[in-house]
Amino acid sequence: MFHSKIIGIGHFVPEKVVTNHDLEKLMDTSDEWIQERTGIKERRFYDPPEKGSTAIMAYKASLIALERAKLKAKDIDAIVFATLSPDYYFPGSGVLLQHMLEMDTKPAIDIRAQCSGFIYALSVADQFIKTGMYKRILVIGSETQNLALDLTTRGRGMGVLFGDGGGAAILEATDEEGKGILSTHLHSQGEFADVLCIREPGSNKIGKSVYENMHLNHDNIHPQMDGQLVFKNAIKRMPEVTMEALAANNLTTEDIDMFLPHQANLRISQMVQKFLRLPDEKVYNNIQKYGNTTAATLPILLSDLWEQGRIKEGQLFALAAFGSGFTWASTLIRF
């Protein structure tokens, strides 16, 4: 049976930097308040708005990943694209990326698992490679979230959290044992679907999914969250699913060389680190400069480390995520 190894990683973030001080001009908040509660100092917004921005960022990240893998787009057999902010209501952004990369009629699959999306996408790609169906797969996490945010005092609880960006990883089949993706572990709990969501437009209502003056229905068209419940579940589920992955591979936390937690809130990452008893040098966070980029978070983290020369052959990386759905997931990767 084949295994999947990552041979190229890349990321792209928009040029526009939005600091906490910039948000102070738009809402009743402060740099001190935001940093104390989230750890975020700044984030990137795709500006000016452009049609296809989620796919465009994925495209730019993909070109970097392809260059680092010494491949051309024609060498890729399929795309698995994770996002909660596709460019169209339908179709998904995967086919837009496929067209931008001029990949003939190669398949593109879209994943909607929010903050856990990249690990879900890795898992899908990994199964395709294990069965021998495809040899190389481009896995994407990309998000344009600023357009959905209410950047006023009314929406500050969510508005300060999110940023835009895209990340890409290329998986390739290998028969080398003990290398690449060792395992993936996926979970969901739909009873909490409305705890963190945007309700409209959607079909979960009586009447048309898009209706006149829909934009006036603030609570339904902007993201809503029960922050305390999300925090409580995140700090439970992320260590839990990480330990699940380690147990499945007869490993312990001491075997981890680098832990990458989803970047939702620095306090969450620090609590998860504490539960796993990992030293600071084994945990990497970049929420301070990018905010929560949802499905793009983990590939951006990986690409950051790749550019810093901090990914070495033989190292064991543990990735964990938790988000809307609820969904949560983990993976172990041996580089």
Q: Encode the chain (335 residues) as per-residue pLDDT tens digits.
A: 799 999 999 999 999 999 999 999 999 999 999 999 999 999 999 998 888 999 999 999 999 999 999 999 999 999 999 999 999 989 999 999 999 999 999 999 999 999 999 999 999 999 999 999 999 999 999 999 999 899 999 999 999 999 999 999 999 999 988 899 999 999 999 999 889 877 767 666 666 665 565 555 656 667 788 889 999 999 999 999 999 999 999 999 999 999 999 999 999 999 999 999 999 999 999 999 999 999 999 999 999 999 999 999 999 999 999 999 999 999 999 99
Q: How far apart are CA 230 and CA 203, in angstroms?
A: 24
Active-site position among 115, 146, 185, 222: 115
Residues 209 and 130 in one domain: no
Record the pTM. Answer: 0.95
Residues 128 and 209 in one domain: no
Residues 163 and 185 in one domain: no
- Pick the last residue of a domain from 174, 207, 232: 174
197 counts as catalytic: no
292 counts as catalytic: yes
Residues 317 and 193 in one domain: yes
Active-site position among 3, 185, 222, 262: 262
Q: How far apart are CA 296 and CA 274, in angstroms?
A: 24
Residues 98 and 190 in one domain: no
Q: For 180-255, where are the alpha helices, taking DSSP H only?
A: 218-221, 227-248
How much is the pLDDT for 98?
98
Whether 48 contacts 296, CB under 8 Å: no
Total tally of structural domains belonging to the chain: 2
How much is the pLDDT for 207?
65
- Pick the last residue of a domain from 174, 199, 219: 174
How much is the pLDDT for 49?
86
Residues 128 and 210 in one domain: no
Peptide bond into 91 cis (omega under 30): yes
- Pick the last residue of a domain from 131, 155, 174: 174
How much is the pLDDT for 221?
64
The parent domain of residue 86 ranges over 3-174
Residues 155 and 300 in one domain: no
Residues 8 and 154 in one domain: yes
Residues 241 and 167 in one domain: no
185 counts as catalytic: no
Strands (E), the chain: 3-12, 16-19, 42-45, 78-82, 108-111, 136-143, 165-174, 180-188, 196-197, 224-225, 258-261, 316-323, 327-334
Residues 255 and 184 in one domain: yes
Q: How far apart are CA 100 and CA 97, in angstroms?
A: 5
For the chain, first and last CA: distance in Å? 18
Residues 200 and 329 in one domain: yes
Residues 86 and 235 in one domain: no
Q: What is the CATH number of the domain that holds 206?
A: 3.40.47.10
Q: How many CB atoms lie within 10 A of CB 145?
A: 25
Active-site position among 233, 265, 285, 292: 292
